[in-house]
Structure 1
């Protein structure tokens, strides 16, 4: 209890309370606007948070991260357009409910499910915090290096069907981190005698370019869409009662969200897929899924909102971000000389619990706000895309310039904005670049520190935790390559069967054609002989 009281004392400040309100309400507004999303908003706000206290800046970003999925359900349900990428599965059952005239019920159920998933995740992590505090001291330089390597591998293999390009982009991110003065001997790397590269390529500049500027370019080149939304009638409290009728689906979905959130590179999409599949297979009415099933909507919204709090575990315990959003938050820690990792759990446990309590409080704030303000909130869906694009473009360049008052940073951000725009048009992931930059720096520092005590390669994995991590890396690689081999084998079998069936069918046609030609030849010969006899008789 002393730990809880110490954490509440950290949160009981007017600036932290204001940050909670601004982050939670602002996150809902951002999530409700299709085409923006939390990554763009966090990228724009990052420069402003560097001047705040760590708890204040992180609370704002956590508020946006944790509440944007609430808002993203609004356009997904009302106009079949997900506000954030992770709300795409919400459209499967949310919009059919709206088409049946049950928009109020669908929104209420989505809010209630998101609230349950968020609260469940935070409670689990508060209970596990003492366990993490005991495990954290077991991680030294070698263990953190292997954990970072495992994180990059998981990010790569998570992009199924795009593993090679994801690996290439992650390597590109690692390369970007090496540009400039290296940290030990201060020798220049890949600067090409250009003074502006001596200080390296700033992570925030790349983040703003890849996410904010690219999204602005994407919105500007599109067309504005007119949307009509009918005003909702009645209260939005019935979803809380309906959620209570499906405790199994809600509990399992929230558990999937917690587990998937703790694994770097996995995130909301895998949690949603597993939860939705489980809910459909265990349902008494599986045919309703995709046509307005309340269980399907619960599974999608519960699982995706259970991920944000769980995603903070590898970030806080090991200093390893599992996705782009937590990678951005890591930069806030570094700016204020707060180093996430084992020492944070040992020396500043109240700060860690305060972050979890902030996530818990923001879920309550968001639910209350949405239950009373949805009718006014749905108007933001009508904001034109091009106007949003201009606003994002302006705010992004202001944020980049404010970092170091450098026009060069603006040019670099614009270049990465074009790269991000191309990746969007080609449906390729930009996240591996960011994680490559962050994890590449961690791997370099920890590898150098760990190699000082290593004489043989086996010394690197002699300790229990490092051995477990090494076996996990081998297991992930084995599963991935086995899956690739099975996919290729299945593809070859499909090609062979297609070729074989077409060959058999072709041979059948060939034989049939020969038969027909033979019959026609017989008829032609018979006709010619008959004509010959007639001419002979006439003569």
Structure 2
């Protein structure tokens, strides 16, 4: 009880309340604008949060992270254009409902499902806190190193069909983390006698370039689309009643979101597709999915909004971000000398509980705001792409320059903006670069710290948690290699086998045919000879 009162006291400050309002309302507005997304907004706001208290800065970023998915459902449902990338599945059933004149019903369902997913995730996070407080201190240098290595492997495996490119980009991110002064003897690495590289490649500069500047360039090269909003009927309050008629779909989808959110490198996309697929299999009317099914809309929106709170678990407990947005939040911790990990649960548990309560209040504020402001937020979808691109470009360079008042940082950000632009045009992932930079630095520090107490390779996994993490790594790598081998090698062999067996069968069939023809001719001759003889 004292812990809860202490957490409430942390939140009951005017600056934290303002941060909650700005994060929730701003996140909804950003999500409602197609082409921006939470990654761009967080990247732009990140330099500004360094001057704020940790709880204030993180509340703003968490507000944008969580509420942007609420707002992203608005253009996905009304104009078939997802406001954020994770609202792509919402278009499958949301837009057909709009075409039937049920746009308000679809929005109401999306809001209620998102609210349920967010609250369910926060409640799970609160219930898991005592367990995390007991387990987190068991993680030493070896365990955190193996957990970071597991996160990198999961990031690569999650990009199925692009694993080789994801591995190369992750390796590029790890290489970027090694540039500058190494953390033990402070010798220079890969600086090429350039003084501006001695401090390394700044993570925030890279993030602003890869996400914000690249998106600005992408918007500037796109043509403006004419948005037509169709009239819709229904009430924005009816979705909560309809959600209550599908408790199994909502609960299963929220569970997928929580589980996938806790696993580094997986995120909203996997949670959405798994929940949508399971809802379709369990539904009595699977043929309605993709045609305006309320169950499909509930499954997609519940899953993606259950992820943000769950994604905070590896970040807070181990200091390991699961994806790009939590990696950006990690920098806020480091700037204020707040080290996420086991020590956070031991010495600053009131700070952790305050973040949980902030997420809880955030979902209530977002739903209340959406129920009264959807009519105005719809017009944000009409903002021209090139105007958005110029605004993002200007704000990005202002943010980069404000970090260290360095024109060199602006040039570095521009280079990474071009790299991100090329990757986006080629439909290649950007997230592995950021996670490689963050997790690569963590791995190097923890590996060096653990090697002083390791004499043989087996000493590295002689503790239970370290052995479990090592076993998971072996199983995932072996399973991935087996899947790749099964998908490629046997197919070639089977095709060769079919070809060779087909040729062999044709040869046998030809031989049998010729043998049958010869035998038939011999029998006819014998019959003719017998007839002549008789």
- Would the TM-score normalized by the shorter structure come out above 0.5? yes
Counterpart in the other structure of 1:63: 63
Counterpart in the other structure of 2:8: 8
Aligned Cα root-mean-square deviation (Å)? 1.7
CA deviation after TM superposition for structure 1 residue 479, in Å: 1.2
Structure 2 vs 1, CA of residues 296 and 178 (structure 1 numbering), >3 Å: closer, same or farther? Answer: same
* Residues in 1 aligned to 2:4 and 2:237: alpha-carbon distance in whole angstroms: 30
Q: Secondary structure of 1:306's match?
A: helix
Counterpart in the other structure of 2:468: 468
CA deviation after TM superposition for structure 1 residue 496, in Å: 4.6
Structure 2 vs 1, CA of residues 59 and 226 (structure 1 numbering), >3 Å: closer, same or farther? Answer: same
CA deviation after TM superposition for structure 1 residue 501, in Å: 11
Counterpart in the other structure of 2:325: 325
1:196 maps onto 2:196 in alignment:
yes
Structure 2 vs 1, CA of residues 493 and 364 (structure 1 numbering), >3 Å: closer, same or farther? Answer: farther
CA deviation after TM superposition for structure 1 residue 492, in Å: 2.1
* Residues in 1 aligned to 2:83 and 2:310: alpha-carbon distance in whole angstroms: 22
CA deviation after TM superposition for structure 1 residue 184, in Å: 1.1
Structure 2 vs 1, CA of residues 284 and 404 (structure 1 numbering), >3 Å: closer, same or farther? Answer: same
Structure 2 vs 1, CA of residues 470 and 225 (structure 1 numbering), >3 Å: closer, same or farther? Answer: same
Counterpart in the other structure of 1:256: 256
CA contact (8 A) 2:54 2:333 kept: yes
Deviations 1:286-322 (A, max 9, x none): 0000000000000000000000000000000000001
Counterpart in the other structure of 1:164: 164
Q: Secondary structure of 1:361's match?
A: helix
Counterpart in the other structure of 1:279: 279
* Residues in 1 aligned to 2:333 and 2:410: alpha-carbon distance in whole angstroms: 24
CA deviation after TM superposition for structure 1 residue 5, in Å: 1.5
CA deviation after TM superposition for structure 1 residue 199, in Å: 0.9
Counterpart in the other structure of 1:227: 227
Counterpart in the other structure of 1:429: 429
CA deviation after TM superposition for structure 1 residue 500, in Å: 7.8
List structure 1 runs of 4+ shifted beyond 4 angstroms. Answer: 231-234, 493-504
CA deviation after TM superposition for structure 1 residue 235, in Å: 2.8
Count how many residue pairs are aligned between Structure 1 and Structure 2: 507
Counterpart in the other structure of 2:109: 109
CA contact (8 A) 1:105 1:238 kept: yes
CA contact (8 A) 1:312 1:326 kept: yes
Deviations 1:398-428 (A, max 9, x none): 0000000000000000000000001001111
Counterpart in the other structure of 2:396: 396
Structure 2 vs 1, CA of residues 73 and 502 (structure 1 numbering), >3 Å: closer, same or farther? Answer: farther
* Residues in 2 aligned to 1:9 and 1:347: alpha-carbon distance in whole angstroms: 17
Counterpart in the other structure of 1:373: 373
* Residues in 2 aligned to 1:181 and 1:122: alpha-carbon distance in whole angstroms: 40
Q: Secondary structure of 1:147's match?
A: helix
Counterpart in the other structure of 2:531: none
CA deviation after TM superposition for structure 1 residue 485, in Å: 1.1
* Residues in 1 aligned to 2:498 and 2:31: alpha-carbon distance in whole angstroms: 46
Structure 2 vs 1, CA of residues 274 and 185 (structure 1 numbering), >3 Å: closer, same or farther? Answer: same
1:21 maps onto 2:21 in alignment:
yes
1:290 maps onto 2:290 in alignment:
yes
Counterpart in the other structure of 2:518: none
Deviations 1:457-484 (A, max 9, x none): 1111001110010001001101111111
Structure 2 vs 1, CA of residues 14 and 232 (structure 1 numbering), >3 Å: closer, same or farther? Answer: farther
* Residues in 2 aligned to 1:198 and 1:284: alpha-carbon distance in whole angstroms: 62
CA contact (8 A) 1:55 1:355 kept: yes
Q: Secondary structure of 1:434's match?
A: helix
Structure 2 vs 1, CA of residues 500 and 250 (structure 1 numbering), >3 Å: closer, same or farther? Answer: farther
* Residues in 1 aligned to 2:116 and 2:449: alpha-carbon distance in whole angstroms: 43
1:344 maps onto 2:333 in alignment:
no
Structure 1: runs of 5+ lacking an equivalent: 508-539
* Residues in 1 aligned to 2:163 and 2:324: alpha-carbon distance in whole angstroms: 17
Structure 2: runs of 5+ lacking an equivalent: 508-534
Counterpart in the other structure of 2:386: 386
Structure 2 vs 1, CA of residues 475 and 186 (structure 1 numbering), >3 Å: closer, same or farther? Answer: same
